[in-house]
Amino acid sequence: MHRPPTSILLAVVASLALVLAACGGTAEATPTEAELPATDPTMEATPEATASPEDDETDAAEPTDEASNGEEVIVGASSFGPGQLTVAAGTDVTFNNTSSFPHTITHGSNGRAVDDPAFDRNIGEGATVTITFDEPGTYEVTCKIHPSMNMTIVVEG
């Protein structure tokens, strides 16, 4: 029976040890605390990264006056939604054009503005227009481009 030379066996064992060490890693491969880069104390958590009770009180967390004192009207392809809206005096009404073409937000009816309209605004596709209704009364709203688009806004004092 023939035995391989000891030097070959040692070379194979050493090669396997190197392969296993490279694949599995050892505690020696992990950097020690002394080898780690120094940390900058200013890099610790900042107030922006942590929550506090005051964060809940910021303007970003609170609705704006417009949002809390406002209503939305959807300007669709052929209608305003809702068709009638009742609001308190001083309310902001935001008209949101969700259609793919322009409209007008005009004080009037059947595509015609009243004499001396309180508002007459163009609104492009995807745009918004906000109108504040300060005076009590009934306001007819129409689109001059699409006369069949009409709605009523009742402003209560």
pTM of this structure = 0.58
Segments making up each domain of the chain, as ranges: 69-156
Residue 127, judged by CB atoms within 10 A of its CB (0-12, 13-18, 19+), counts as middle
- The pLDDT profile of the chain, 157 residues, written as one tens digit per residue, is 555 566 555 555 555 454 444 444 444 444 444 444 343 333 333 223 323 333 333 222 233 334 457 999 999 999 999 999 999 999 999 999 999 999 999 999 999 999 999 999 999 999 999 999 999 999 999 999 999 999 999 999 9
- Nearest Cα residue to 76 out of 146, 132, 138, 139: 146
d(C-alpha 18, C-alpha 20), whole Å: 6
> Which CATH superfamily includes the segment(s) 69-156?
Cupredoxins -  blue copper proteins (2.60.40.420)
d(C-alpha 131, C-alpha 119), whole Å: 8
Read off φ and ψ for residue 13, nearest 5 degrees.
-60, -45
Given this model, what pLDDT does residue 47 score?
29
Query: Residue 36: how many CB atoms within 10 A of its CB?
Result: 8
Query: Residue 80: how many CB atoms within 10 A of its CB?
Result: 22
Residue reference for tokens 């599995």: 24
Given this model, what pLDDT does residue 142 score?
98
